[in-house]
């Protein structure tokens, strides 16, 4: 039996309660619920996981469709796949979500400073070294190579300051599908935290996951 | 839950009175604007400089402290929110407990309070309003202070709270800053009022769990500090756990004290059933907001279950105190508090490190 629920307009905890009532009936094999807030999506994902259900989320513009299925109705192979995707969906924890994205590997560009190498005189040659990094990023962007992620740490986070010359090329890379992330502690240290969108702020755990999952790491 | 209206109250039988929490979107401190949004809102405000203002807005202190004389300063704070429970008297008590807490978190004592009240006299009988105010006033009296007045407006959403004035000797003021590397972090009360209040609204709490929740929500934060100051234990830094959750408030302490911190999950106390409830999706919106605001400062050394981290970000209403003491004082602090039947645990410590950074470990 498949059930459909329209939970739009309801506030927490109502969507969870109504869905729980439906899935408590073992005869219901699948539930499709419409909700209109991210909080309700995440709460329904938690509910599904606690009940051992496979859960799928689709964004439909102004709202979301959450589909929950009982696992026993699928073949063994599917089940294994679903456990995997179910985990990815329900781990809303940013770190694990990002870490699971990182599983893809690919080429990761790791920039733990805001220069390309280091000149012979640190202070005098800084501008040159910094500009060289800008050229490096622009060359990557135009080369057709697509890194899976660009990770910024320590003074490297200055590259994503909207006032920096490198800001534009990082935006272009991001628009092209590269994940561009900056270390939160570092942003905080350099006073840039309010200037960077939250979804691009990450932590050391995720940075490590990306580095370990990478097929190759470029760090000029 | 059952409402506890006085019997003499005349209720128009033709009119159905809605539950007090019926039009509330987010409960208690979960109704707070998230930290990252608040930072953007406050960014453009003029910077204030006054040599007598002893607190700084950038340290996100619990209350403002203004020095009047060498040995006397006034503490001011304001806190209000929509109903967290349907019983109006209990709601008043909880809101007052929460508002008074900011005075205690600065190490002060409250003397005077003014009520802030938004209420719709079309939707609810006047007796409901009277009960809310009575609950608040009774709690203020219990704290040794008085409600000297207030301000009320007609509003579609019920809101109640207090602006509280307290006094303190500036030399004894407790702030978010001042913790030293190696200091132990002590927390009073249990975590999980955000999840529990949501479960209460969903009518998922058993009778004993409700009683436990209400008792925690109406317990004033005055006693831990009184007990410790009588024993002359030196408290280095103090705050209360409210809307930003455990992680958010420890983050503020670490930033203000220029240290990092380690939280030991196995030493935390949780309200009954709230881990299970969070696992099933009873997680308040404020918890997700806190996670978004603070997660980049946190590293989980071990892979913790999602419901545990949810509780670390759970917005607390009338939560307990967090304070820093020298490691040699830990045993004495816990003994003194336990002897007075004050719930307290040693939940971690401050360390030299990157300011604002928090490690979360299992043990």
B29 interface with A at CB cutoff 8 Å:
no
Same domain, B191 and B328: yes
Average pLDDT value for residue range B125-154:
97
Give the pLDDT score at B302: 63
Residues of chain B neighbouring A49 (CB-CB closer than 8 A): 279
* Cα–Cα distance, B194 to B212 (Å, whole number): 14
Same domain, B54 and B199: no
Same domain, B220 and B355: yes
- Greater confidence (A205 vs B175) lies with B175
Q: In the predicted model, is pLDDT for residue B10 greater than 50?
A: no
Instruction: Give the count of domains, chain A.
Output: 2
**Is B17 within the bounds of a domain?**
no
**Is A198 within the bounds of a domain?**
yes
Same domain, B110 and B202: no
Query: Taking Cα atoms as reference points, which of B10, B1, B349, B32 lies closest to residue B187?
Result: B349
**Is B102 within the bounds of a domain?**
yes
- Cα angle A12, A14, A15 (rounded to 5 degrees) comes to 90
A38 interface with B at CB cutoff 8 Å:
yes
Residues of chain B neighbouring A92 (CB-CB closer than 8 A): 288, 306
Same domain, A132 and A70: no
A189 interface with B at CB cutoff 8 Å:
yes
**Is A58 within the bounds of a domain?**
yes
Task: Give the percent of chain B with pLDDT over 90.
Answer: 75
Which residue among B144, B171, B198 closes a domain? Answer: B171
Least confident of A107-121, A171-185, B21-35, B226-240: B21-35
A188 interface with B at CB cutoff 8 Å:
yes
Give the pLDDT score at A209: 83
**Is B9 within the bounds of a domain?**
no
CATH number of the structural domain spanning residue A54:
3.30.110.40
Same domain, A41 and A133: no
Best B28, B37, B45, B296 member to test A by mutation, with max A CBs in 10 Å, is: B296
To the question of pTM greater than 0.90 for the whole model, the response is no
**Is B189 within the bounds of a domain?**
yes
- Greater confidence (A215 vs A94) lies with A215
**Is A32 within the bounds of a domain?**
yes
For residue B235, give both structure tokens: 């408290």
Which residue among A92, A112, A131 closes a domain? Answer: A92
For residue A33, give both structure tokens: 């619920």
Give the pLDDT score at A79: 41
Give the pLDDT score at B43: 84
B260 interface with A at CB cutoff 8 Å:
no
Instruction: Quickly count: other Cβ atoms within 10 Å of residue B270's Cβ.
Output: 19
For A198, name the nearest residue in chain B, comparing CA atoms only.
B292
Asked if B40's CB is within 8 angstroms of A188's CB, the reply is no
Give the pLDDT score at B301: 65
Q: A78 to chain B, minimum CA–CA distance in Å?
A: 24
Give the pLDDT score at B94: 97
CATH number of the structural domain spanning residue B264:
3.90.650.10
Contact B113, B164 (CB under 8 A): yes
A136-191: pLDDT as tens digits? 999 998 888 889 999 999 999 999 999 999 999 999 999 988 999 999 889 988 98
**Is B1 within the bounds of a domain?**
no
**Is B114 within the bounds of a domain?**
yes
* Cα–Cα distance, A99 to A102 (Å, whole number): 5
Best A9, A35, A46, A199 member to test B by mutation, with max B CBs in 10 Å, is: A46
Least confident of B60-74, B146-160, B184-198, B296-310: B296-310
For residue A218, give both structure tokens: 């470029």
Sign of dihedral through CA atoms A160, A163, A166, A172? positive
Beginning with the edge strand found earlier in the chain, give each strand of the sheet holding A201-202 in spatial order.
A201-202, A179-183, A149-152, A107-111, A216-218
B294 exposure class (CB count in 10 Å sphere: 0-12, 13-18, 19+): buried
Same domain, A124 and A214: yes
Q: Is the peptide bond before B38 cis (omega within 30 degrees of 0)?
A: no
**Is A67 within the bounds of a domain?**
yes
CA B135 vs. chain centroid, Å, equals 18
Give the pLDDT score at B8: 45
Instruction: Give the count of domains, chain B.
Output: 2
For residue A172, give both structure tokens: 């272009």
CB pairs under 8 A between A and B: 89
B245-256: pLDDT as tens digits? 999 999 999 999
Q: A50 to chain B, minimum CA–CA distance in Å?
A: 6
Of A39, A45, A203, which has the smallest distance from its Cβ to B298's Cβ?
A203
B6 exposure class (CB count in 10 Å sphere: 0-12, 13-18, 19+): exposed
B302 interface with A at CB cutoff 8 Å:
no
Q: In the predicted model, is pLDDT for residue A104 greater than 50?
A: yes
Q: B241 to chain A, minimum CA–CA distance in Å?
A: 22
Which residue among B112, B138, B171 closes a domain? Answer: B171
Same domain, B196 and B133: no
Query: Taking Cα atoms as reference points, which of B231, B242, B238 lies closest to residue B350?
Result: B238
For A204, name the nearest residue in chain B, comparing CA atoms only.
B299
Same domain, A109 and A211: yes
Same domain, B258 and B320: yes
For residue B278, give both structure tokens: 């969070």
B156-192: pLDDT as tens digits? 889 999 999 999 999 999 999 999 999 999 999 999 9
The mean of the pLDDT values for chain B is 90
Which residue among A29, A61, A92 closes a domain? Answer: A92
Same domain, A30 and A110: no
Contact B349, B262 (CB under 8 A): yes
**Is A97 within the bounds of a domain?**
no
Q: In the predicted model, is pLDDT for residue A125 greater than 90?
A: no
Same domain, B89 and B125: yes
Same domain, A35 and A82: yes
Q: Which residues of B are known to be catalytic?
A: 29
B284 exposure class (CB count in 10 Å sphere: 0-12, 13-18, 19+): buried
- Greater confidence (B12 vs B73) lies with B73
Same domain, A159 and A202: yes
| Residue tagged 């990770």 (tokens) | A151
Same domain, B247 and B355: yes
Q: In the predicted model, is pLDDT for residue B116 greater than 70?
A: yes
Give the pLDDT score at B46: 87
Same domain, A113 and A136: yes
Same domain, B167 and B179: no
A50-102: pLDDT as tens digits? 888 999 999 998 999 999 998 754 444 444 344 434 333 333 344 444 444 44
Give the pLDDT score at A206: 82
For residue A213, give both structure tokens: 């999952």
Residue range(s) defining the domain that contains residue A153: 102-218
Task: Give the percent of chain B with pLDDT over 70.
Answer: 93
CATH number of the structural domain spanning residue A194:
3.40.1260.10
**Is A65 within the bounds of a domain?**
yes
Residue B126: pLDDT band (50, 70, 90) is: very high
| Residue tagged 């207030």 (tokens) | B150
Beginning with the edge strand found earlier in the chain, give each strand of the sheet holding B235-240 in spatial order.
B235-240, B321-325, B184-188, B344-351, B260-264, B358-361, B298-300
Which residue among B153, B171, B189 closes a domain? Answer: B171
For B37, name the nearest residue in chain A, comparing CA atoms only.
A194
Same domain, A78 and A119: no
* Cα–Cα distance, A137 to B33 (Å, whole number): 38
Of B40, B285, B297, which has the smallest distance from its Cβ to A39's Cβ?
B285
- Name, in order, each residue with C-beta under 8 angstroms of A108's C-beta and a sequence gap of 6 or more: A147, A148, A149, A150, A151, A210, A211, A213, A214, A216, A217, A218
* Cα–Cα distance, B105 to B221 (Å, whole number): 8
Give the pLDDT score at B209: 95
Element (H, E) at A108: strand A107-111
Asked if B288's CB is within 8 angstroms of A42's CB, the reply is yes
Residue range(s) defining the domain that contains residue B104: 28-171
Give the pLDDT score at B190: 96
What 8-state DSSP symbol labels residue A122? T
* Cα–Cα distance, B361 to A187 (Å, whole number): 24
Best B22, B60, B281, B312 member to test A by mutation, with max A CBs in 10 Å, is: B281
- Phi and psi at B252, nearest 5°, equal -60, -40
Same domain, B320 and B213: yes
Same domain, B217 and B159: no
Same domain, A116 and A74: no
Task: Give the percent of chain A with pLDDT over 90.
Answer: 48
A39 interface with B at CB cutoff 8 Å:
yes
Residues of chain B neighbouring A33 (CB-CB closer than 8 A): none
What 8-state DSSP symbol labels residue B301? S
Query: Taking Cα atoms as reference points, which of B351, B280, B358 lies closest to residue B312?
Result: B358
Same domain, A110 and A207: yes
Query: DSSP letter string over A49-74?
Result: HHTTEEEEEEEETTEEEEEEEEGGGS
**Is A75 within the bounds of a domain?**
yes
Whole-angstrom CA distances from B36 to A191, A195, B239, B288 are: 14, 11, 19, 12
Same domain, A208 and A118: yes
**Is B14 within the bounds of a domain?**
no
CATH number of the structural domain spanning residue B32:
3.30.1330.10
Same domain, B280 and B356: yes
**Is B7 within the bounds of a domain?**
no
């Amino acid at each position: 039996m498949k059930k459909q629920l329209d939970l739009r307009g309801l506030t927490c905890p109502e969507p969870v309660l109504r869905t729980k009532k439906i899935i408590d009936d073992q005869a219901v094999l699948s539930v499709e619920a419409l909700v209109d807030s991210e909080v309700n999506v995440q709460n329904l994902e938690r509910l599904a996981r606690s009940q051992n259900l496979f859960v799928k989320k689709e964004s439909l513009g102004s709202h979301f469709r959450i589909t929950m299925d009982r696992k026993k109705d699928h073949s063994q192979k599917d089940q294994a796949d679903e456990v995997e995707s179910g985990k990815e969906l329900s781990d809303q924890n940013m770190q694990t979500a990002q870490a699971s994205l990182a599983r893809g590997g690919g080429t990761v560009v790791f920039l733990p400073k805001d220069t390309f190498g280091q000149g012979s005189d640190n202070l005098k040659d800084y501008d040159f070294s910094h500009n060289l990094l800008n050229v490096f990023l622009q060359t990557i962007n135009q080369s057709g190579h697509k890194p899976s992620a660009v990770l910024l740490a320590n003074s490297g986070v200055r590259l994503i300051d909207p006032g920096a010359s490198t800001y534009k090329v990082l935006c272009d890379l991001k628009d092209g599908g590269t994940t561009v992330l900056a270390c939160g502690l570092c942003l905080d240290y350099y006073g840039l935290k309010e200037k960077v969108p939250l979804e691009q702020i990450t932590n050391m755990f995720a940075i490590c996951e990306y580095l370990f999952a990478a097929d190759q790491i470029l760090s000029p | 839950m059952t409402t506890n209206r006085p019997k003499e109250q005349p209720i128009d039988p033709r009119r159905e009175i809605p539950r007090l929490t019926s039009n509330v979107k987010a409960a208690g401190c979960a109704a707070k604007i998230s930290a990252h949004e608040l930072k953007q809102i406050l960014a453009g405000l003029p910077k204030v400089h006054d040599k007598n203002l002893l607190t700084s807005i950038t340290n996100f202190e619990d209350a403002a402290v203004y020095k009047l004389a060498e040995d006397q300063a006034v503490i001011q704070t304001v806190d209000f929110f929509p109903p967290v429970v349907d019983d109006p008297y209990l709601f008043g008590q909880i809101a007052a407990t929460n508002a008074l807490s900011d005075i205690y978190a600065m190490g002060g004592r409250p003397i005077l309070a003014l009520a802030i009240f938004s209420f719709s006299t079309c939707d609810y009988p006047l007796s409901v309003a009277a009960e809310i105010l009575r609950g608040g006033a009774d709690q203020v009296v219990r704290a040794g202070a008085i409600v000297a007045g207030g301000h009320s407006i007609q509003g579609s959403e019920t809101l109640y709270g207090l602006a509280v004035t307290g006094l303190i000797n500036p030399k004894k003021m407790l702030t978010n800053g001042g913790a030293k590397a190696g200091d132990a972090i002590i927390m009073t009360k249990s975590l999980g009022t955000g999840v529990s209040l949501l479960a209460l609204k969903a009518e998922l709490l058993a009778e004993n769990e409700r009683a436990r929740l209400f008792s925690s929500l109406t317990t004033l934060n005055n006693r831990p500090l009184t007990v410790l100051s009588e024993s002359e234990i030196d408290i280095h830094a103090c705050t209360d756990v409210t809307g930003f959750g455990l992680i958010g408030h420890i983050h503020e302490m670490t930033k203000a004290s220029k240290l990092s911190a380690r939280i030991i999950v196995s030493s935390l106390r949780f309200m009954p059933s709230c881990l299970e409830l969070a696992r099933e999706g009873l997680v308040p919106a404020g918890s997700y907001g806190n996670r978004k605001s603070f997660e980049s400062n946190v590293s989980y050394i071990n892979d913790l279950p999602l419901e545990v981290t949810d509780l670390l970000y759970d917005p607390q209403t009338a939560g307990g105190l967090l304070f820093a003491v020298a490691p040699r004082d830990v045993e004495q602090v816990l003994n003194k508090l336990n002897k007075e039947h004050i719930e307290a645990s040693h939940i971690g410590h401050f360390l030299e490190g990157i300011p604002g950074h928090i490690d979360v470990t299992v043990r």
